[in-house]
Structures are given as C-alpha cells and as structure tokens.
Amino acid sequence: MFATLSDRLATTFKNIRGKGRLTDADIDATAREIRIALLEADVALPVVREFVARVKERARGEEVSQALNPAQQIIKIVNDELITILGGETRRLRYAKTGPTVIMLAGLQGAGKTTLAAKLALWLKEQGKAPLLVAADLQRPNAVNQLQVNGERVNVPVFAPQPGNGVGDPVAVAREAVEEAKRKLHDVVIVDTAGRLGIDEELMKQAADIKAAVNPDEVLFVVDAMIGQDAVNTAQAFLDGVGYDGVVLTKLDGDARGGAALSIVQITGKPVMFASNGEKMTDFDLFHPDRMAGRILDMGDMLTLIEQAEKTFDQAQAQQDAAKIATGEFTLEDFLKQMQQLQKLGSMSKLMGMLPGMGQFREQLDNFDDREIDRIKAIIQSMTPAERANPKILDGSRRARIAKGSGRQVSDVNQLIQRFTEASKMMKQLASGGGMPGMPGAPGAGFGKRAGAKQVAQKKKGKGARKSGNPAKAAQQAKADAAKKPAAANPFGVPGGEEIDYEKAAAELNLPSDFSKFLK
C-alpha cells in the first residue's frame, strides 16, 4: 500500500546521510522531496502543507543542529510527525458498562462492510467476547446470505429475521437484534448496514434511523483505502450527515498509494481504529499509528509479527522443537509441521515485509511465489515416516519415487535434502552455543573466548622474559636460560645431546640382507 511513499522517502533520506551538518538548503531540499512523496501518495494537500511545515520547523531547531547525526534526527522527526497524522495513539473499543455493546458499521457499497463484520466478530471472539452478527443490510442482493456464510466461517451466530434483497425493515431488525442479544447473553452486537454507491439522502436517513434505534456505543465508518481522495470526501460527508466514532480501513493490502490513511485522521479528526489487510478472516487487527509509521519508513513492524506468531504457534510445540534441534533429533516431519504453522501467519512476502530494511528487496518479495512452500510440503508428504525421520536412507530409487509422487524433479528433492541437512547442522551448532561456523569472534569458530585466551597465552609465552640493559647481567641471564632449556629432540624421538650409533640402530631394525642396495 505504501510502497511508493516508502521508496521515495528512502531515497530522500539517503541523500542526507553522512552529512555532519545540515544547511538550510539541505533542509529545504529534503522538505521539497517529502512534499512530492506525500502528494504522489495521494495525501490531501492541506495535510501535506501542515506536515511539511512542522518538519521544517523542527528540522531548523536545536534538536537537529545539536545532534551528533542530523540525518537520523530528521528521520526521527518525520517518524514522529507520521505518527501524529495517523492518530498518535492506538484507539481501542469502548465497551458498554451494562447490557450488550452495540457496534454499528456504516459506509459506501463495496467498501467491504459485510466481510469486515465477520472479521471483527472473530477478533472479538479471540478477545473472549460472545458477539452476535446482525444482517441489517436488506437492500443489496444476497447481503444477508453473505453475512450468514461468513458467520459460519468464523463460528459466530447471525441474527437475520428478514430475507433481504429489498424486503424488510432494517431499523426493526437492528432493534430486535439488541433484544435477542440480551436473551441469549451476547455481550457484543455488530450491526451490518446497507451502503450506496455514493452519499445520498436515503443512505443518510437510514443510517441515522438505525443509530437512533439502537443507540450504538461505537459507530465505525468503513472506508476502502484504495479509492484515494474520494475516501476523505466520503468520510467527511458521512461525518457531517450522521456522525461516527472511528474509521476502519479495508484493502490495505492493495496496490493503491495509500494517501487516504494519512489524510482521514487530520481531515475528520476521527481516529483509524482497525485495519483489514487481506482476504483471510484473520487479516484484521487494531490500527497502531506508530507501527504503520515504522512500515512507511522501512523500519519494520516486529511487534505485529511477534503478536501474530504468538497467536499462531504452539509454545509447547516450539519448546519441543528447540530441544530436538539442540540434540540433533529435528526431522523432516518436524520441519513439515513448522511449515504448516508458518502458512497460518499469511504470505511470506507480507511477513518478510515486516522486517526492518526489507524495502530494498521489495521487488524480490513481490515476485516471491508462496506456492513454493506447497511444493516443499508435497515433497515431504511424499516420503514415508521412516524417510522423514532419517533422510540418510534416501537413495536414488527412493528420491525418484518421491519426485514422481510430488510432481517435482529429482533435483528438487536433492536440493531440499541438502538444504535441510545444512540447516540442521547450523541450528544444532547455534543451539549448543557453538555460534555460526566461520564467523570471527563467535564461539566455536576458532576465535571464541577459549581460543582467544589460548592465543593470548601463546602470545605472552612467545614474548619471553624481559632482558636486562646491563651487558653483564644479560649474559648471566642468557647462560641461566640456556641451562634451563631442554635439549631439542630430533625427528626420531631421541633426546638431544646423545650420540647415535647408526650401525647398531640399523642392526636392530632386522632389515633383509639385500636391503642395503636401496640405501646406496
């Protein structure tokens, strides 16, 4: 979503790195590039002007002029201002003190409200809540059926007394849903409302009537992040006509320039509360301004990555795998389980994009084929349990059978086995504290703590004792050292200083009588 903006800002900061002092001309040039980057990302012009003005003001202040690294200080300022225009702090849901918490979703048709309702229900369910989905979109064809299907996918009940498709009263459905939630002890009610292709009086009136009927604790405006400046205009019009408490951005995984996300908060004054960034029901989470700013500036988003991993991976299983790695018992069966868990986190390109500095590899990440993991799984699943436990038994005929069973080439099987073997050795060495092989200064690499101490001892030993400056004392010291020094041994192990009787030694070897001709 923010690829264009990230690349442009990265180029801008690259031009000022290495400068010990920034002049006014440098600051003006940097501000100009930032302005162009934001405008190209489709950020609203008033937001761009305010953003650039604050950056320039702070860049000319003491925090940059007295900084040891002015370029890094500029990046910090831009990061701080990005966090500000994205909302500053994470805004969380407000829950009702008594009775069920009512959340009303509103927005234009095609923004993704119905799918997002199910994603929000699943997210609330993971938080320990008991949500109820309400099909109050009775206008769009099959909207009720779509919500019921999505409700089954996330295992959340759906209240749908009316068939929809233009039949029924959405205000009455919303009102009855609250009573239904009280009877069946649901603590959260999510009302999915109808949308329009554009803002009109009928849309505004229906949304206002539903809001008055259920008195929602939260009204969330769902907006498609891919429609650019129109998202800001629509958000402002809906705010003036009905009002809402927060914004939900959908389709953040698209290829649009993403200016809407940077503009809505500043234009409307309402925070972005949630973000949907994929097609899966789990591709939904709280919107964290600081983490989004980090992604834009290619600083990564390790906290989100860790949170997703904690939700997906089994901690007990992870500890067992770590123990197997340390003892060298990690098998292809364990590797297969890890691959399956990894796929639950989402696409590899998305995961790798959360790591700091991965913006420079964006082209490779975009071209990464997630089906490669499926191909690896197919190869491993084509093996017998004995072959997964001990890949050393995989001879030529077995590898040919595995390749045929997985629809791959024998070379693909060979590469997988080779990489797995090398990775297993490396992981075992790391787990045992051996360090990475061949890395200077690392334990086990010949330059570790013990090796270093040994080298220092040898170095000290090689220096010898200090010689006296007095010639007489120096001669006396040399004589004493010579007396202490043991005689050098010869290559045959005979102590130095002894006379060797070579004829006697040759006789003791009992050589053949005709062997003497080879000694001439």
Tell me if 454 is assigned to a ligand binding site: no
Q: What is the dihedral sign for C-alpha 439, 441, 447, 450?
A: negative
* DSSP codes joined into one string, 434-497: --STT-TTSTTTTSSHHHHHHHHHHHHHHH-PPPPSSHHHHHHHHHHHHHHSPPPPPTTSPPTT
CB atoms within 10 A of CB 474: 12
Tell me if 111 is assigned to a ligand binding site: yes
Instruction: Name the β-bridge partners of 276.
Output: 284
Tell me if 195 is assigned to a ligand binding site: yes
Q: Is 107 left (phi over 0), alpha (psi -120 to 50) or beta?
A: left
- What is the maximum alpha-carbon separation in the chain? 123
What are the C-alpha distances in Å from 442 to residues 249, 434, 436, 456?
Answer: 46, 8, 7, 16
Distance between CA atoms of 345 and 191, rounded to whole angstroms? 28
Tell me if 225 is assigned to a ligand binding site: no
Q: What is the dihedral sign for C-alpha 170, 176, 178, 181?
A: negative
Distance between CA atoms of 74 and 80, rounded to whole angstroms? 10
Tell me if 108 is assigned to a ligand binding site: yes
State both tokens at 45. 């012009």
Backbone angles phi and psi of 463, in degrees to 5: -70, -35
Distance between CA atoms of 7 and 9, rounded to whole angstroms? 6
What are the C-alpha distances in Å from 194 to residues 171, 199, 204?
Answer: 11, 12, 10
Tell me if 23 is assigned to a ligand binding site: no
Tell me if 194 is assigned to a ligand binding site: yes
Distance between CA atoms of 336 and 330, rounded to whole angstroms? 11
* DSSP codes joined into one string, 32-71: HHHHHHHHHTT--HHHHHHHHHHHHHHHTSHHHHT-S-HH
Radius of gyration of the chain (CA): 36
Tell me if 462 is assigned to a ligand binding site: no
Distance between CA atoms of 136 and 180, rounded to whole angstroms? 14
Tell me if 4 is assigned to a ligand binding site: no
Tell me if 253 is assigned to a ligand binding site: yes
Tell me if 124 is assigned to a ligand binding site: no
Annotated binding residues, written as ranges, equal 107-114, 192-196, 250-253
Give binding residues for GTP as ranges.
Answer: 107-114, 192-196, 250-253
